[in-house]
Structure 1
């Protein structure tokens, strides 16, 4: 029987798909209630819908008894990891490395610059017809700490270079050396945080990073420092962050929050020194062309029985 491939983008809109599989369109609908395009047991390659509610993305997993690859279109795979027990053993779980780096790094710099230079205040003043000038912090000559130095963290540093920052420090799960300098382990954070004027979170959400930016982490940040989160909301302890920003000691620029979506009336909306964007690091004009190229490449490898890219884990293997 021909293997089915479920795609959240209409197959006729993706150039370069290899012959062989039967390509079926399924984007989950709003809550996963959209009728499946075929028997899920025949699906060998499941590309997870993008920008759909969690329930929609994971709904088919327990029914995909013959699946061999689950391909996300997100940089993080935490949504699928939360339902790992629904996936049969031996399935390769791949992320979308190469799709979101540029857009997410752009937003990290946008949030950093907008917050430092007071752009939200200028917009509010413009609405009132007020001319409000004065000195604002610059990114130039500042120390920046990037927490989470994978492909997105590296892309953020690429874009920091022209801004003449004084120093970039890098932190990841484990220490290593890059062309730009050392990457410190998470254990070095207590020593690095007090030196940073801007702390940018770009780390995956794992057991080790959930609540990483908690009360102790935030307390070690210097007075007036800026926390930028383009990772996942639960990497930051919201209650601890509110304590710091409401006191005026720290500022924050957040593309992700916990809870998310941030409900009306939540104190973060009105907290002083806080800039919020609604999780828009990935959905830009760059997404669709890059996602299509990734899917065509992965499926060509899949059909030709070549090693896939971006394999994060194989289910049923020790440690998965």
Structure 2
């Protein structure tokens, strides 16, 4: 179950992937495997590096923290850290919370493109027609010649634009917390959304969930989107006001492709399941064959930096 040698006296790292499956881990540490689905694998008081279990509920991820007085690093395998941030005050002073920026870029960007194409070309409708044995032809919107707005232009947003490049979009606009220039063109500040939204045929949400982005896509945001536009959310469900979105979907004015929802998991009978023009996938942007090799590489690199006392990557916050 683990490579923990309790009597060695070496510092201990808890990992959400079996240590035996990660080549090249530093020999200066002991290792224990914990994926959040069982009792603690060893005494958490020895843990100095905590790899947070992937796809576990926030309460599970945070459960060991109160028992880790020697903890120096909390490493998530997600780009977003909203599930861990509330637990930061209980971390030892100086402990670092690091995210997995870059880990999910390829997989999540791939799903964003898949959702966009599937929703535009009505793949769900064709699947239902196939199930019914019906031949339903007709014109559908294309991504070609469309205007796309990416809201949240970090590494995932940039990776989404990489994948949009061959599809002959008329325009790709970018929005982030602050304005900047890139090789592809300007990144606009969030304050520019009111003037950018009316021109977008597709709006892709790739922003982290923060106090500033929670509920960003509210009734006013949605009202500025053009008739027939598609909202694609691969960010976090709470970025969108679900009630406001449902009003637009049920009127038929907007369409949506959602990999994340609020609430999540989406309960049986929730109106989003049956809202017109809506495609829902169960938060699968990250879990793909691209995940494991990138997760192993991230953990290996961070642990090597840790034992050498080198700066860690992707530091989000340091505990006070």
User: TM-score, normalised on structure 2?
Assistant: 0.96
The total of aligned residue pairs comes to 312
Q: Which residue of structure 2 aligns with residue 219 of structure 1? A: 223
Q: What is the aligned partner in structure 1 of residue 197 from structure 2?
A: 193
Aligned residue for 2:5? Answer: none
Q: Of 204, 210, 213, which aligns to 1:206? A: 210
2:132 is equivalent to residue 123 of structure 1: no
Match of 1:53 among 57, 60, 68: 57
Query: What's 1:86 paired with?
Result: 90
22, 27, 38: which one pairs with 1:14? 22
Residue 101 of structure 2 aligns to a residue in which SS?
A: coil
**Counterpart selection for 2:161 from 136, 157, 163:** 157
| Displacement after TM superposition at 1:54 (Å) | 2.0
1:92 Cα shift? 1.0
Unaligned runs of 5+ in 1: none
SS in 2 for 1:51: coil
1:301 and 1:19 map into 2 onto residues whose CA distance is 13
1:299 corresponds to: 303
How far residue 56 of structure 1 moved from its aligned partner, in angstroms, is 1.4
Cα offset for 1:53? 2.0
- Please say if 1:262 is aligned against 2:270: no
Residue in 2 that maps onto 1:76: 80
Which portions of structure 1, spanning 4 or more consecutive aligned residues, are displaced by more than 6 angstroms? none
Which sections of structure 2, spanning at least 5 residues, go unmatched?
A: 1-8
Which residue number corresponds to residue 6 of structure 2?
none
Q: Matched residues in 1 for 2:101 and 2:218: separation? A: 28
Post-superposition offset of 1:86: 2.1
Hey, what's the Cα distance between the residues in 2 that align with 1:315 and 1:176?
29
What's the secondary structure of 1:85's corresponding residue?
A: helix
* Whole-Å separation in 2 of the counterparts to 1:12 and 1:57: 22
Cα distance in 1, alignment partners of residues 140 and 86 from structure 2: 42
Deviations 1:142-190 (A, max 9, x none): 1100000000000000000000000111000111111111111111111
**Cα distance in 2 for residues equivalent to 1:207 and 1:88:** 24
Aligned-residue RMSD, C-alpha: 0.8
SS of 1:171's equivalent? strand
CA separation in 2, counterparts of 1:38 and 1:24?
7
Aligned pair 1:110/2:96, yes or no?
A: no
Structure 1 residues 112-135: Cα deviation after superposition (integer angstroms, max 9, x where no partner) = 000000000000000011000010
| Distance apart, 1:85 and its partner CA | 1.9
Partner of 1:174: 178
Query: Which of 18, 22, 26 is equivalent to 2:34?
Result: 26
The C-alpha deviation readout for 1:4-44, integer Å capped at 9, x for no partner, is 10001110010110111111111110xxxx22122212110
Taking the aligned partners of 1:281 and 1:97, their CA distance within structure 2 comes to 14
Residues in 2 aligned to 1:195 and 1:82: alpha-carbon distance in whole angstroms: 37
Q: Per-residue displacement from partner, 1:50-85 (whole Å, max 9, x unpaired)?
A: 012222111111211110000000111110012222
